[in-house]
Amino acid sequence: MDQRTVRFPNARWSWTLMTAREDTRMPRVRSGGTAKLLQGFIVYSLHPENGQQKMFYRVDESELLTLQEGLYPFDDEQEKHMLSCMDRCRTALQGFCMLIGEVALTFLSQMEELEWKLEELEGRMKRSNDSKVLDEIMDLQYEVLDWHRILQPLEEFHAAAKGWAEDSPCHEYDNNELLLQRLHSRLNRYRTELDILLNIDNNIATYRGNEIMKTLTVFSVICTPATVFGSIWGMNFKNMPELELPFGYALAISAIVLLTLSVYFWMHWKGWTGDLLKGKNKDSNIV
């Protein structure tokens, strides 16, 4: 485990940073009762290979202690900028709020990838709504659910630190509140758009299913005369009418065709065929 301490002599508080290479289990956000103490964890990074990486913290008025899983969350340039801002913070809580603000800003930029996926899915769904679209909608819904889970520890810390911020004004706390509102606004918009896409997909699937059933029903009704004639003339009785007619076969075929056409035009006149037997527009969204 790596450890180092950064001291801010002007503000009279310090930040102890520890990095662990293995998984660590610590409790969620909780308050220290009458003492001003908060401890818990936040998700600080979405690593492409290792997934979510957590930062466990313990913060009071004069000391901030953090423990990171895996890699250190900030590069040299980010750390230099953040330490410069932290040096102007009067308490460890304000310094930690500054750190959380950097994490929230990173999340805002990472959410853009989710927005690009959503825009691409909307365009592909409009062009061709095949069975793969539903799988992609579900994948994005799970991704939005993961983002809600990632933001939950930030909200818990924000709620637990509210009393401190009320006792002494904290500009960093107010900034984080705005960042959390932006993050939730984006997630709510993504969730709403995914719900709309899912409803559209369900409506199209229902429409297609109804069209298929109606088509099969119309086809069955139109073929009824041929079925009836085939059933009658397929009987094997010794004495049957029309067996000696020279044009009996032609008359039977003509009667079948005539009755089939009569049934079709009658259903068309009643408006029961609709657009089932018409070709769909090639630009239709439900083909």
Segment 72-121, tens digit of pLDDT: 666 777 778 878 888 888 888 888 888 888 888 888 888 888 889 998 88
Evaluate if residue 257 carries a pLDDT over 70: yes
* Of the candidate ranges 49-58, 143-152, 154-163, 192-201, the one whose mean pLDDT is the lowest: 49-58
84 and 155 in a single domain? The answer is yes
Question: Tokens 């090639």 map to which residue?
Answer: 282
Evaluate if residue 37 carries a pLDDT over 50: yes
As a whole number, the mean pLDDT across the chain is 78
Closest CA to 95 of 162, 11, 166, 177: 11
154 and 76 in a single domain? The answer is yes
Evaluate if residue 30 carries a pLDDT over 70: no
pLDDT 10s digits, 201-248: 888 888 777 877 877 788 788 788 878 777 777 777 666 666 677 777
Count how many domains the chain has. Answer: 2
Read off the pLDDT band of 1 (50, 70, 90).
low
- Residue 71 within any structural domain of the chain: yes
Evaluate if residue 25 carries a pLDDT over 60: no
- Residue 153 within any structural domain of the chain: yes
- Residue 15 within any structural domain of the chain: no
Evaluate if residue 54 carries a pLDDT over 80: yes
Rounded-to-integer distance, Cα 173 and Cα 164, Å: 10
| CA separation, residue 171 to residues 104, 165, 168, 183 (Å) | 15, 9, 10, 19
Residue 171 has which token pair?
A: 């500009």
192 and 158 in a single domain? The answer is yes
Q: What percent of the chain has pLDDT over 90?
A: 6
3-state DSSP assignment of residue 119: helix
| CA separation, residue 261 to residues 219, 221, 232, 251, 254 (Å) | 12, 11, 20, 15, 11
Where does a domain end: 206, 238, 262? 206
Q: What are phi and psi of 2, to 5 degrees?
A: -90, 145
Residue 8: beta bridge partners? 13
188 and 85 in a single domain? The answer is yes
Query: Which of 6-20, 105-119, 270-284 ranks highest by mean pLDDT?
Result: 105-119
- Residue 5 within any structural domain of the chain: no
| Residue range 50-74: mean pLDDT, rounded | 78
121 and 166 in a single domain? The answer is yes
CB under 8 Å to 98, separation ≥6 — which residues? 82, 85, 86, 89, 172
What pLDDT score was predicted for residue 61? 77
112 and 196 in a single domain? The answer is yes
Q: What percent of the chain has pLDDT over 70?
A: 77
- Residue 259 within any structural domain of the chain: yes
Rounded-to-integer distance, Cα 257 and Cα 225, Å: 8
Query: Which of 130-144, 156-170, 261-275 ranks highest by mean pLDDT?
Result: 130-144
| Residue range 142-165: mean pLDDT, rounded | 85
- Residue 263 within any structural domain of the chain: yes
C-alpha Rg value of the chain to the nearest Å: 35
Segments forming the whole domain that contains residue 249 = 218-270
What pLDDT score was predicted for residue 35? 56
66 and 186 in a single domain? The answer is yes
78 and 201 in a single domain? The answer is yes
What pLDDT score was predicted for residue 47? 62
199 and 223 in a single domain? The answer is no
What pLDDT score was predicted for residue 190? 92
Question: Tokens 């853009």 map to which residue?
Answer: 112
193 and 234 in a single domain? The answer is no
What pLDDT score was predicted for residue 237? 64
| Residue range 273-285: mean pLDDT, rounded | 57
What pLDDT score was predicted for residue 27? 44
State if pTM tops 0.75.
no
- Residue 283 within any structural domain of the chain: no
Question: Tokens 């990486």 map to which residue?
Answer: 53
Residue 247: give its domain's CATH number. 1.20.58
71 and 124 in a single domain? The answer is yes
- Residue 226 within any structural domain of the chain: yes
54 and 194 in a single domain? The answer is yes
The one-letter amino acid code at 15 reads: W
Cβ-count burial 215-240 (b if 16+ within 10 Å, e if not): eeebeebbeebeeebeeeeeeeeeee
